[in-house]
Amino acid sequence: MDIQELGWNDFFAALFDPYARAERVPARVIKQDRDRSIVACEAGELGAVVTGRFRHMAAGRSGYPAVGDWVAVEELGGGRAAIHAVLERRSAFVRKAAGDSTEAQVVAANIDTVFLVTGLDGDYNLRRVERYLTAAWDSGAAPVVVLNKADLRTDLEGIVAKVEAVALGTPVAALSALDGSGLEALAPFLPAGRTVALLGSSGAGKSTLVNRLLGEERQLTGPVRAGDCRGRHMTSRRELIRLPGGALLIDTPGMRELQLWAEEEESLGRTFDDIERLAPACRFSDCRHGDEPGCSVRSAVESGLIEAGRLASFLKQREELERLAVKRDARSRRQAEKAFGRKIAAVMKDVKLRKPGL
């Protein structure tokens, strides 16, 4: 297998140099299922697990291999490999892990483009599009909004215009994965060697779109519920698939909810650039766009320049990210305190060993 076809380039080759000297082999994670990975390298596909040393050194869940990662592996024979390191990521789509823990979960790594898929049935929601855009901008990849199930709408032109109004320059493609109409709009984003992540809620039609792009029925598809047009998780694990034209597509299970994990303030600003551009005209430099007098953003809402729902979406995301930042800071302090405590304990133990009788 030629790893160049998997997206290997000079950037990763330079990062891999120290591992090459240790006789490791470069491989890309193409499937992920709990603690087990399937990696692709020159020797073919291998089942891989991380080493005990890796587990000890990994900094949280986000440090573990994710689909799209380039890793340094040791071939063990019998179709097995051990993962010794994850190379630095050029980009990563990250969300907050489910539950109360303040941890990041990497959904897809080293991606060039993110297809944000939404169905034009009951799945259609402008506020969800905005949320996905914030996460996409934070990933370092370029987003494309994909409006699937266009065959269900008679008002398609108006729907596209509304999405373009919140996507602010992000490409918007309307298509039907079911009958293939409009699929040509995705071609410019799928050149050979490029990696595209397919993201969206369950029932948006991602599996059908993958099958259409592959030209074969590879991914399982299923019906959506009549009440809310949500589907079952037909895709149960993340997987990197090579398309006939040479592009690399990362398919992911549908998300019931996308909890943000944006580390860059600019990510929210890029999604809501219209609001950010109005903010400097507010009377107060620290205006929160709430009840403060002289708020230019509120004036824009009152005049109809900005939709009230869009401002509410901005305020909700900002509050969510601010709460997350506070939790992350607290978690970092706790980790630093624990590390300092372990260091002190180690020093005291060493002192006792050097001075018998203490």
The CATH code of the domain that includes 37 is 2.40.50.140
In a domain, 155, yes or no: yes
* pTM for the model: 0.84
| pLDDT band for position 168 (cuts 50, 70, 90) | very high
Candidates 236, 242, 175, 191; CA nearest to 214 is 242
**Confidence class for position 17, pLDDT limits 50, 70, 90:** very high
Residue 256 in domain: no
What would you report as the CA-atom Rg of the chain, rounded to the nearest whole angstrom?
23
Q: What pLDDT, on the 0 to 100 scale, is given for residue 331?
A: 59
Q: What is the per-residue pLDDT across 180-222, written as a single tens digit (0 to 9) for each?
A: 999 999 999 999 999 999 999 888 999 999 999 998 876 545 4
pLDDT over 50 at 228, yes or no: no
Is 120 among the domain residues?
yes
125 and 216 fall within a common domain: yes
Residues 112 and 201 occupy one common structural domain? yes
Domain end among 220, 251, 282: 251
Give mean pLDDT, residues 247-270.
83
Domain identity same for 205 and 297? no
Write out the two tokens for 354: 């050097």
Q: Apex CA 241: angle with CA 240 and CA 245, to 5°? A: 135
The range of the structural domain enclosing residue 135 comes to 92-251
Q: Is the pLDDT of residue 336 over 90?
A: no
Structure tokens at 281: 């005209």
Residues near 279 by beta carbon (within 8 Å), at least 6 away in sequence: 287, 289, 296, 297
**Within-domain flag for 261:** no
pLDDT at site 233: 43
Domain count, the chain: 3
What pLDDT is attached to residue 234? 46
Check residues 68 and 57 and name the one with the higher pLDDT: 68
Answer whether residue 267 is part of any domain. no
Are 96 and 229 found together in one domain? Answer: yes
Residues 200, 127 within the same domain: yes
